[in-house]
Structure 1
């Protein structure tokens, strides 16, 4: 992992997630690129928009400089390779522009703690970044109490995956010698004809890592996932986001049923689409 992107709005949630970004950058000797976006609110009507935009830009630059100076004053992080940029516009377009010009291995995002995975990912910048970005995303709830990657649950529907998209996830697992449990929760009457083949593919991807598979047949997938994460005492939940994926559909806005999967742990999203 060479480059970590960390968008911040300087909120408590972002500052909490920044500790994860900093530790990852230190452990991987990676460049940490910190960005802040600014834009004029749509409802704003002012005679001199240019002056307002310049003021917003100055505030963004000042806050970024203060943030980076604060990091550099910490002896644990003063040798990190940190770059930063104040960007005019919305966050999603800013990330898309960065991804089109640079190789980003991981995006780290902070989000407000909520009662479930759906509430963490839906209706927030995190949701938009997870959906639109090309890079893997680590979403850190503000309720996360420790930096730990040694016990990871990887939720999978055992459909074929793009092995290259797992590079960042696998490197992270190897760095922290993580134990990975691949859990597949299938509806009772669903039959996956390619289950054995796809099981073998994930087994190959995770070769060299301590890992095992857990199959659960249950129609209540969200509650089953909730129970498994808690009973397994996982400190990271990894999801695979790909087109037409069952797990992507779980988190789609149009799904009105509330997920019962309560989590205080970070969510690592492996982007496939």
Structure 2
């Protein structure tokens, strides 16, 4: 991991994400990229390319750059390589384009928790970034003063296609020397006996070098509740999930589960693309 992106709308939630990114950067010696996106009228292109002046839009750009400069002067960023940028695109598409151009390894986004992501990522932008991003996305829900990455949950069906996401989750846990709890959620609509679930998980994990881990099977009414309730029982600091691109979360992670968890769960969530 070399480069971390933090999109910001200058809100408290975005600052929480930045502080979480700083924790990771200090562990990995990553560069931080702070991005502010301006969804301005198409006429701004005339200004950028030397056309007639548009005072209002230029004022927005100036203010955004001033705020970004103030962010870089915060004491908690001391000793960290920080790059700032203002882009003129829609939020989710701008983030995805910036990732590819700058070879970002991790996105860290701020969220309002149970109310969903506000200001920075309104409505479907949250689900779009999580669902379409080719790189891991970490969503932070609260002030990071009490944030620690000691107990991490990885919820999966442990199918072959989750191997690459699991490796990324394993490596992320290793950065913090965290305890990794691997959990298979059983529901009435996706039932497996304990014996069958144990065989699937044991076969999956034997292919990897990993320490500080444990295997768990958890029964609940549905997958979302299972992930939330299991995470509470072990006092998880972070929940890891696999995403499956345009079709949502793989196998039992279907429908609105990904969006519901990202928008409603108060714990930090990290997602990995299959």
Query: Normalising to structure 2: TM-score of the pair?
Result: 0.80
Provide closer, same or farther for how the CA distance between residues 227 and 23 of structure 1 changes in structure 2, counting only shifts above 3 A.
same
1:63 aligns with: 67
1:269 aligns with: 271
Distance in 2, matches of 1:228 and 1:115, equals 22
Shift in Å, 1:175? 1.7
Shift in Å, 1:90? 1.2
Corresponding residue to 1:201 among 204, 208, 229: 204
Shift in Å, 1:144? 5.6
Distance in 2, matches of 1:237 and 1:64, equals 30
| SS of aligned partner of 2:210 | coil
Structure 1 residues 78-106: Cα deviation after superposition (integer angstroms, max 9, x where no partner): 22111111111112222222222232211
Could you tell me whether the CA contact under 8 Å between 1:173 and 1:209 is conserved in 2?
A: no
| SS of aligned partner of 1:161 | helix
1:214 aligns with: 216
Provide closer, same or farther for how the CA distance between residues 115 and 99 of structure 1 changes in structure 2, counting only shifts above 3 A.
closer
2:127 aligns with: 127
Corresponding residue to 1:224 among 205, 223, 226: 226
1:29-40 correspondence to structure 2 within 5 Å = 29-40=29-40
1:249 aligns with: 255
Distance in 2, matches of 1:199 and 1:93, equals 39
RMSD, aligned CA: 3.0
User: Any stretches of 5+ residues in structure 1 without a counterpart?
Assistant: 43-47
Shift in Å, 1:20? 0.3
Provide closer, same or farther for how the CA distance between residues 68 and 248 of structure 1 changes in structure 2, counting only shifts above 3 A.
farther
Shift in Å, 1:170? 2.4
Number of aligned residue pairs: 254
1:157 aligns with: 157
User: Any stretches of 5+ residues in structure 2 without a counterpart?
Assistant: 43-51
Provide closer, same or farther for how the CA distance between residues 126 and 242 of structure 1 changes in structure 2, counting only shifts above 3 A.
same
Structure with more helix by fraction: 2
| SS of aligned partner of 2:16 | helix
1:45 aligns with: none
